[in-house]
Amino acid sequence: MVAGRPFVQNHLRLLRLLRVLGLPLIGLASVAADVATVLGQSGITVSCSKCHADAAFLSRHGPRADALYVTDTLLQDGAHATLRCLDCHPELGDGYPHSPSDPAPCRQCHVPEGAEWEASIHAVEEAAGDAATCLSCHGSPHATYGSDDRRAPTHALNVATTCGQCHSDPRIIGTYFTGPEDAQARSAVGDYHQTVHGSAMSAAGLIISATCNDCHESHRVLPAKASSSSVNRQHIAGTCGACHVGVLEIYESGSAHGSAFQTGLRTPEGLNAPACVDCHSAHQIVRTDEMEWFLGTSVKCGACHAELWETYLDTYHGQVTNLGFGLTAKCSDCHTPHNMRPASDPASSVHPANLVATCSRCHAQVTASYVKYYAHGDPRDRKRFPVLFWPWLFMTTLLVSVWSFFGVHSLLWLNGIRLERRKRGRQSDPRSSTP
């Protein structure tokens, strides 16, 4: 390469000169040769390859032989195939033997990605040497592939493994994910594989499923607590909604949760209205048609809707759910999963006018009288549910009084026996009166 570069430059000057001098035929032929051999040359420059494509030579000259080994085969169908060695290693063109030196930063070309990375949590830890840099995720700059290439570490099917190089590493976890708020992050990659997203990706091979970067962004990776993070509560609906378009539409068009979230409503306990992750979690997302989900979700609703949860558990619906079977109605079966609205809202599935339709999803022959069932009746509440209160009070009183009365009767019977036997003992009658 020492001689190569001046040669090429001189050659170009000569060609231009020939063209200017009106020698088009010679010029045209030369341009064709030029494009093929120099300007459009893909892969390793001929003179660099003398050393860098010679594995035996490299291994004699230092420990980094693998990294320095660059051949046309490695480069030829990669994303950087059209680059020349000196595009990324300009300072190495000055002579040989050259000493190791930093290549030009990737952001020289990848400007927006570089800026996004700069703002990410990955850039922050650069000083400690643990920063995830371009090459951490994209692999070798020589055999580098676009994310749609199956071989790329950033291909959807490989992302979890790529991120897992650090995010499953006990040293990294023990250093950077030690706070109580990092509990989810500590097992994130492992958990992801169990989720509907992860199993769709790894088991079903479905690359349109979500992987790490779909939610966390590729370059501007930020922890959820950062307000500008794509996985911050303020932005999570939009992040999930990028794929779950239909759900976002429902959530944001008047559902109780979506409306409360948009208006910033908080409960007296200071809880936010639920966003996607509050019900679905982040890294434990499961299929919504499976038992695990059926049983887990209703409990989550109950975490906020405590009273409704308690009264639900008193119904047959709730009892069966509580026993671990998902086949009776759970919260979302009546209230819908995303379009839950107060019963006063005519668009609500539990608005009196819609109850027949809602109950009919499971029950046959539902009538207007049938839906006067209290799905959340509280027999202890005399004001709201007098028709439940009085039968409850009567039956409970009957239960307690009858059982206590005869319980005492049985205990007193023991006393009767005791007194009888003591009396008999005093009479020193050796015979038992009972057989």
Partner 1 sequence: MTRKLASSDRGEGPYVWRFSRLERSLHVMVIVSFFGLVITGTPLLYAHTPWARSMIRLVGGFQAAAVIHRVCAVMTFAYFFIHVGSLAYRISRSTNRVAFFWGPDSMVAQPQDLRDFAQTFKWFFGKAPRPRFDRFSYMDKLDYWGEFWGIAIIGSSGLVLWFPEFFGRFMPGWMFNVATIVHGIEALLATGIIFTIHFFNVNLRPEKFPIDVSMFTGRGTVDYLKAERPREYERLVAEQRLEALIAPPPSRAAYLWSVSLGLVGLTLGVVLIGLILWAIIWHA
Nearest of 299, 292, 301 to residue 199 by alpha carbon: 292
Binder to partner 1 among 346, 423, 425, 429 (CB under 8 A)? 423
Q: How far is the CB of 221 from partner 1 (least distance, A)?
A: 42
Nearest of 40, 52, 36 to residue 81 by alpha carbon: 40
Q: How far is the CB of 309 from partner 1 (least distance, A)?
A: 11
Residue 274 or 377: the one with the smaller Cβ distance to partner 1 is 377
Subset of 76-135 contacting partner 1 (CB under 8 A) = none
Residue 43 or 318: the one with the smaller Cβ distance to partner 1 is 318
Q: Which CA distances in Å does 204 have to 10, 157, 191, 200, 209?
A: 57, 11, 17, 5, 10
Q: How far is the CB of 121 from partner 1 (least distance, A)?
A: 42
Tell me, residue by residue from 298 to 327, as one string, x for binding to partner 1 by CB under 8 A and - for no binding. Answer: ---------------xxxx-xxx-xxxx-x
Three-state DSSP class for residue 367: coil
Residue 367 token pair:
């009538």
Q: How far is the CB of 142 from partner 1 (least distance, A)?
A: 59
Q: How far is the CB of 351 from partner 1 (least distance, A)?
A: 16
Angle CA 37–43–45, to nearest 5: 60
Cross-strand pairs, 266? 272
Q: How far is the CB of 285 from partner 1 (least distance, A)?
A: 25
Subset of 171-210 contacting partner 1 (CB under 8 A) = none
Three-state DSSP class for residue 236: helix
Q: Does 371 bind partner 1 (CB under 8 A)?
A: yes
Binder to partner 1 among 364, 383, 428, 430 (CB under 8 A)? 364
Q: Does 395 bind partner 1 (CB under 8 A)?
A: yes
Helical ranges in 182-327 per DSSP H: 183-186, 188-194, 196-202, 212-216, 233-241, 245-252, 256-262, 276-280, 291-304, 306-313, 316-322
Query: How many Å apart are CA 279 and CA 275, to the nearest integer?
Result: 7
Stretch of 5-13, 133-141, 340-348, 379-387 lying at the interface with partner 1 (CB under 8 A): 379-387
Residue 96 or 405: the one with the smaller Cβ distance to partner 1 is 405
Binder to partner 1 among 14, 398, 425, 429 (CB under 8 A)? 398
Tell me, residue by residue from 246 to 285, as one string, x for binding to partner 1 by CB under 8 A and - for no binding. Answer: ----------------------------------------
Binder to partner 1 among 365, 427, 428, 430 (CB under 8 A)? 365
Decide if 194 contacts 187 (C-beta within 8 A): no
Residue 397 token pair:
């009183």
Nearest of 283, 276, 278, 286 to residue 188 by alpha carbon: 283
Q: Does 427 bind partner 1 (CB under 8 A)?
A: no
Residue 267 or 397: the one with the smaller Cβ distance to partner 1 is 397
268 prior amide bond cis, ω within 30:
no
Binder to partner 1 among 14, 205, 265, 373 (CB under 8 A)? 373
Q: How many residues bind partner 1 (CB under 8 A)?
A: 52
Query: How many Å apart are CA 339 and CA 332, to the nearest integer?
Result: 9
Q: DSSP string spanning 50-70?
A: HHHT-HHHHHHS-TTHHHH--
For partner 1, the binding residues (CB under 8 A) are 313-316, 318-320, 322-325, 327, 363-367, 369-374, 377, 379, 385, 387-388, 391-392, 395-396, 398-399, 402-403, 406-407, 409-410, 412-417, 419-420, 423, 433-435
